[in-house]
Amino acid sequence: MLYVVAWPVLGEADDTALRRLRAQYHPGEADLIGPHFTLVFGASVEREAELRAALEQVGQRPFWFMIDHIVRSDLHLHAEPSDGRAELTALYETLNPMAGPEPFEPHITLGLFRSAAEAEQVARIVGRQNLPMTGRIEELALLRRTGEALDTLASVRLGA
């Protein structure tokens, strides 16, 4: 499967907080990949050339984002940006010319829980202790997941 992610550049304290939250509440994925915004999710390997070409055509300049709320989506916990949301959505639309079954909501996944109540409780605590967080998006990457391995196939600096 192929993925395109936007790598957030964060201050040390915010990066550490996100990594710790992911390690605690989403350990399977945290060992595989750090905090990121997913722009293309689970595309077939046949789309590699198409995604490489789309990445080369991205005209977006680097941009700031601000995460100011934590939300629960089913059993998942997400950090969602307010500032930077439009830019992430524009990148998603560029890389996904056919709309998916659900609307795109830019987010960093923080955890997966056994119950919605547990996720909601952690969301309140995390929000009070860690927000707001600000960062920049300067780079996108095309990744391939094979089993438990994740390989970077291409990286693109925004505005380059």
pLDDT digits (tens, 9 = 90+) for 18-55: 999 999 999 989 999 999 999 999 999 999 999 999 99
Spatial separation of the C-alpha atoms in residues 71 and 73, rounded to whole Å: 6
Does residue 82 sit in helix, strand or coil? Answer: coil
Q: Compute the CA torsion angle 75, 79, 85, 87 (nearest 10 deg).
A: -100
Spatial separation of the C-alpha atoms in residues 17 and 126, rounded to whole Å: 9
pTM for the full model?
0.94
Confidence of residue 94 (pLDDT cuts 50, 70, 90): very high
Instruction: State the first-to-last Cα distance of the chain, in angstroms, to the nearest integer.
Output: 27
Q: Which fold has domain 2-157?
A: Cyclic Phosphodiesterase; Chain: A, (3.90.1140)
Q: Out of 63-72, 92-101, 124-133, give the one with best mean pLDDT.
A: 63-72
Confidence of residue 160 (pLDDT cuts 50, 70, 90): low
Cis peptide before 81 (omega within 30 of 0): no
